[in-house]
Amino acid sequence: CVSWFDCVRFCNALSLAEGLTPVYDIGAGDEPNIRLHSTHTGYRLPTEAEWEYAAKAETDLMYAGSDHADEVAWYDENAYGSTHPVGQRQPNNLGIYDLSGNVYEGCSDEWSRLAYKQRTGEVRDPHEWIESHAPRVYRGGYWGGDVSKCRVAYRYWNVAADRKFSIGFRVMRGGRHHDVLERRDLG
């Protein structure tokens, strides 16, 4: 039950607590201006492409870790109306739990309906960062949604300031946003 702004604030707080350089400059207020420093070492939200890369785990499975949702995801037919502790379903091939279902996970990208359609065949992360209050991308599905929303390919958006019961987040450590995909695709 967090907003996208809450997610980036948490990333900075965790970075400072661990002595790392925060990735985000955050202005004041409920809907602050956010500036991204992609070379800083602190915690950040994954890009949409990084999230999908982690969820697919070098497979073509429908859900993160299986073609059978009940093995890996919490959704409307099996979650009994609430979130569940992480790790009660099987992980994907990278050992990551709960990328399908449980809660939508915030990504750093601004929402664009055409983000992937415009880049057909490209291997570069199409990260869209705009210092605005634009809607942001969320991935993974949630405990109260239809199983189709838990598919690795499913994309969702929400206003950056809205807090919803279906939203959570996952963090990763700084560095350039494109490093993970570029290294794999060029290597």
Output the CA angle 70-144-44, nearest 5 degrees. Answer: 90
pLDDT, position 156: 93
Cα four-point dihedral sign 137, 140, 144, 145: positive
Cα four-point dihedral sign 84, 86, 87, 93: positive
Cα 42 to Cα 124: distance, rounded to the nearest angstrom:
23
12-15: Cβ within 8 A, 24+ apart = 12/42, 12/43, 14/42, 14/43, 14/171, 15/40, 15/41, 15/42, 15/43, 15/174
- In degrees rounded to 5, what are phi and psi of residue 176? -65, 140
Scanning the chain, the segments in alpha helix (DSSP H) are 4-17, 48-56, 69-72, 179-186
Cα four-point dihedral sign 82, 51, 110, 123: negative
- Averaged over successive runs of 10 residues, the pLDDT of the chain (187 residues) comes to 93 96 89 87 92 95 98 97 95 96 93 70 57 85 97 94 93 64 30
pLDDT, position 77: 97
pTM assigned to the model: 0.85
